[in-house]
Amino acid sequence: MEEEQIVIVGAGPAGCAAAAQCARLGVRPLLLDSSGEAGGLVANAFLVENYPGLEKPLTGEVLVGRLAEHLARFDVTITAKTVSRVEPDPDGWIVHADGQDIRARCVILATGTVHRSLSIPDERDLISRVLFYEVRDLLATIPSPKKVIVVGGGEASFDYSLSLVNAGASVSILVRSDRVRVRGRLGEMVAGHPEISVKLNTRLVALKEVDGGVAATVISEDCETLRLADALLAAVGRKSSASLIVSSPDPLSLTHAPGLFICGDARSDGLGQVGIAVGDGLAAAALAVQRATRENVK
């Protein structure tokens, strides 16, 4: 069985920060990511302006490039593997990754979140064709959409809408409740935008692929209507993906169990911010290096 001192799962902001810090402290980690690339969810961000130390706001795509450069500077590479389980072992932890078992003194789980599903009929057949859960996937499949329906009343749906109008689309945001959950600058950038409309109290009930796009059945004020668009992008919430990898009755925390650290958005109380993910990654790296390099630690 392969033996490692530290395995890091996920190369988003938390995993990249942790990996570079481990290397900097003298322990080269094994960094695994299912995509094989650095970046994670922030690749979708229209503009990141709240991460301290930037000379100016950056698009998510540019920030992802910076994360890759950061890893390269510390000579850390990413191995493309998907981790299905992490289980305790007398000497640490066993990481199950694409049929391979890796024993590690410490594991840092930085796997971020998975999207919540719309739960509509035939969803599986529509995904990645006309139904998307991340704007980068939508734009990779349909680079110049003319009309997109976005579902969700939170920050992600507003941020995605700005990326879509930037790509030339007009956007209709459908919000199930009677208010949106967006504050400050993001709300201001969307409010009054000529290419973005927000429809409150509007519920998606069905979605069908039609020639060249989607037909969405929506109910608003007891009235059912059909809306046509090139694609539908759903931003109806996300949940920790670490809960799929570790069985635990307890909340998933930074110092979850001896030698197992859970960072960034993957924590039960993850706050969905790059700066917090990076801070968690640095903290986990410091604690993991300390533990992995101590003799006879159980």
**Contact residues for ligand FAD (CB under 6 A)?**
9-15, 32-35, 40-42, 44-45, 48, 50-51, 82-83, 110-113, 156, 159-160, 241, 245, 264-266, 272-275, 277
Q: What gap in Å lies between CA 38 and CA 262, rounded to an integer? A: 18
Q: Considering beta carbons, is residue 14 or 27 the nearer one to ligand FAD? A: 14
Q: Considering beta carbons, is residue 40 or 92 the nearer one to ligand FAD? A: 40
Give the dihedral of Cα atoms 50, 54, 57, 63; nearest 10 deg: -90
- Residue 13 CB, shortest distance to ligand FAD, in Å, is 4
Q: Considering beta carbons, is residue 88 or 154 the nearer one to ligand FAD? A: 154
Q: Considering beta carbons, is residue 66 or 208 the nearer one to ligand FAD? A: 66
- Residue 81 CB, shortest distance to ligand FAD, in Å, is 6
Strands of 139-273 (E only): list them: 147-151, 170-174, 196-199, 202-210, 213-220, 223-229, 231-234, 238-240, 260-262
Tokens of residue 184, six digits: 């400050």
Q: Considering beta carbons, is residue 42 or 175 the nearer one to ligand FAD? A: 42
Token pair 């006879």: residue: 296
Positive or negative CA dihedral for 89, 90, 93, 99? negative
Q: Considering beta carbons, is residue 116 or 208 the nearer one to ligand FAD? A: 116
Q: Considering beta carbons, is residue 32 or 142 the nearer one to ligand FAD? A: 32
What is the number of other CB atoms lying within 10 angstroms of the CB of residue 61? 15
Q: How many helices and strands (H and E) does the chain possess?
A: 7, 17
Question: Between vectors from CA 24 to CA 20 and to CA 28, what angle results, nearest 5°?
Answer: 70
- 3 state SS of 214: strand
- Residue 78 CB, shortest distance to ligand FAD, in Å, is 9
- Residue 161 CB, shortest distance to ligand FAD, in Å, is 10
Residues for the chain: how many in total? 298
What is the number of other CB atoms lying within 10 angstroms of the CB of residue 86? 25
- 3 state SS of 213: strand
- Residue 275 CB, shortest distance to ligand FAD, in Å, is 6
- Residue 295 CB, shortest distance to ligand FAD, in Å, is 30
- Residue 15 CB, shortest distance to ligand FAD, in Å, is 5
**Nearest CA-CA partner of 80 in 98, 57, 93:** 98
- C-alpha pair distances (Å), 27 with each of 19, 45, 137, 144: 9, 32, 35, 45
- Residue 20 CB, shortest distance to ligand FAD, in Å, is 13
Q: Considering beta carbons, is residue 101 or 122 the nearer one to ligand FAD? A: 101
